[in-house]
Amino acid sequence: MSDSTPVGCGCEIQQPQAVLAVAPDAYIAVDATGRIVAWNPAAQTTFGHDHAHACGRDLADLIIPDRYRAAHRAGLARLGAGEPARVLGQRLHLQALHADGHEFPIELTLTATEGSTGPVFHAFGHDVTTTWRISRFAEVEATVSRGLAEAASSHTAATRVVDALGVTMSWPVTELWLADDDRDVLLCSARHAAPGRRLGRFALDELEPGVGLAGRVYQQGRPLWIPDLAADTASLRSRAAARIGLHVAVGVPINTGARSIGALCVYGDRIEDPEDSLTTLLVGVAAQVGQYLERRRAEELTIELARTKDEFLALVTHELRNPLAVITSTASLLEEELDGLLDADQRQYVHTILRGAGRLSVLVDDLLDLARLESGHLAIDPAPSDLVAIVEHAVAAIAAQSAEKALTVTIDTPARLDLYADSSRLQQVADNLLSNAVKYTPAGGAITITAAADPDEAWITWTFTDTGIGIPPADRPHLFRRFYRASTALDRRIPGTGLGLVITRAIIERHGGTIGLANHNGPGTTFHIRVPTKPDVASNP
């Protein structure tokens, strides 16, 4: 308003009530007891209560969050008693309560007039959520940069990011999802939930690509807004979010280079339209996370390469040199003493040489398979096969060794189990799991192999159980990593390379199946395999 048109001069502004009715700011007047005596339409929009509901009500009850009510009433009492107050005429920043229960920041100015029954306090204010958020953005970016610079692991980094967004921006739920390298799923690396917020069935830890906001963002590689979760009826997870009072969600992809590796998602508790500044903030944070993870991956790869090199050297030293030394020394003996040896001794020497050569050829085959696996060339050549024949063949091949250790080997299968698969590769799986069972089961133990088709004959479940030395829980997550050997095997100095299971898993997965360790009560180990009978076997790359 210009100086030439003072309020009340009697020309332009005749009707203050009409002006208040169209004012963009909320206008509220209260008497000295805190009772609302005026409430304009902008107040209705800002706080969600209509005029009829608000007028006559206690202001503190209606729009002041519970924890601030006592202080608010005490302040009003002091003003009513005529005490000098700094709050009059100042811009104040307060938290307010909306009719739908969410809290939001407001900026207001307070003035007082003298009414017929005592003082009347007039507040003009507006919702400053957007401004407040923007002022928090820089804080979030700084917290994230600091958090990532100091994070010693990807997990710590993810936790710091969701905490920075959740705490500083007051988002009720923030989640960071990353793709699992081995399986085609997204895992929730870190989640921040506001204190007291119960997540119930919304708190999933695994999502398929394309499913839920995180899955969609990851698959499409672009930011997505869901302005009203309850209206997103196609998504079960959006419905679960709406059930716990969440209303809006935003997700942005996390990229390293050109590849999407995850998603950063925030959930809010009121319906909102897409806001560019917020998406920009999240894209910026996601870029920082992407760069951090790329850096970490490079570091981990360097460590992994150094470790692999050490393990490879150790493997060559033990597993190659030992049988080679046995072969060389036995062959020399045979050559030197050939004439003086009895037939039986000669046979024993030749047997020793053959066993050493057998160990070497298994190792060479495994190393070749590993090399093919790493270069993506592990060949699978499917044809109609019978799994029971494969099992029986494996048991027969290892009969001498199991008899030597007095192991009981039981086969529990139907007469045939037809499937479309590469039988020589499945033979490799059976031979490897069975030779492990024999190797890691002390004399007198038992081995059981079962195989059965599901009622619809689409899948076969195949298990290998032994009563041997077992695999401690701490080793289980690493078991399918190349060169990894469990402490139970290392402690007993049982020879091995840690290559068989890596190859076994690759073969099963190339058939569209899965392999894992079953939880085991008591000693022993059970490997649990599921293979489809008519797999859509991936052609050789």
Please give the residue ranges that form the binding site for ligand ADP (CB under 6 A). 432, 436-437, 440, 466, 468-471, 479, 485-486, 488-489, 496-501, 525
Q: At closest approach, how far in Å is the CB of 506 from ligand ADP? A: 11
Cβ pair 327, 351 in contact under 8 A = no
Closer residue to ligand ADP in complex, CB, 207/469: 469
Q: At closest approach, how far in Å is the CB of 319 from ligand ADP? A: 8
Long-range contacts of 215-221 (CB under 8 A, 24+ apart): 215/186, 215/263, 216/251, 217/251, 217/252, 217/253, 217/263, 217/265, 218/177, 218/179, 218/186, 218/253, 218/260, 218/262, 218/263, 219/260, 220/253, 221/253, 221/255, 221/260
Beta strands per DSSP E along 154-232: 173-179, 186-193, 206-207, 224-226
Task: Spell out a b/e string for 432-462, using b for 16 or more CB atoms within 10 Å of the CB, else e.
Answer: bbbbbbbbbbeeebebbbbbebeeeeebbeb
Q: Where are the alpha helices (DSSP H) in 64-189?
A: 69-80, 129-150, 154-163, 169
User: How far out from the chain centre does Cα 258 lie?
Assistant: 21
Taking the C-alpha atoms of residue 45 and residue 21, their distance in angstroms, rounded to an integer, is 12
The residue type at 499: L
Closer residue to ligand ADP in complex, CB, 447/453: 447
Q: At closest approach, how far in Å is the CB of 223 from ligand ADP? A: 43
Q: At closest approach, how far in Å is the CB of 376 from ligand ADP? A: 20
Q: At closest approach, how far in Å is the CB of 479 from ligand ADP? A: 5
Closer residue to ligand ADP in complex, CB, 119/523: 523
Taking the C-alpha atoms of residue 304 and residue 439, their distance in angstroms, rounded to an integer, is 28
Cβ pair 386, 417 in contact under 8 A = yes
Q: At closest approach, how far in Å is the CB of 515 from ligand ADP? A: 11
Q: At closest approach, how far in Å is the CB of 518 from ligand ADP? A: 12
Q: At closest approach, how far in Å is the CB of 486 from ligand ADP? A: 3
Closer residue to ligand ADP in complex, CB, 150/365: 365
Closer residue to ligand ADP in complex, CB, 178/471: 471
Smallest CA-to-CA distance from 268 within 192, 140, 170, 129 is with 170
Residue written as token pair 């030992």: 322
Closer residue to ligand ADP in complex, CB, 215/500: 500
Tokens representing residue 7 in the block: 């309020």
Closer residue to ligand ADP in complex, CB, 172/524: 524
Q: Which residue is nearest to ligand ADP (CB)?
A: 496
Burial of 191 (0-12, 13-18, 19+ CB in 10 A): buried
Taking the C-alpha atoms of residue 384 and residue 418, their distance in angstroms, rounded to an integer, is 7
Contacts (Cβ under 8 Å, ≥6 apart) of 294 = 256, 257
Q: At closest approach, how far in Å is the CB of 325 from ligand ADP? A: 19
Smallest CA-to-CA distance from 525 within 460, 461, 449 is with 449
DSSP string, 443-470: TT-EEEEEEEE-TTSSEEEEEEEE-SS-
SS3 at position 303 = helix
Cβ pair 193, 172 in contact under 8 A = yes
DSSP string, 123-148: EEEEE-HHHHHHHHHHHHHHHHHHHH
Taking the C-alpha atoms of residue 110 and residue 120, their distance in angstroms, rounded to an integer, is 10
Closer residue to ligand ADP in complex, CB, 323/468: 468
Q: At closest approach, how far in Å is the CB of 495 from ligand ADP? A: 8
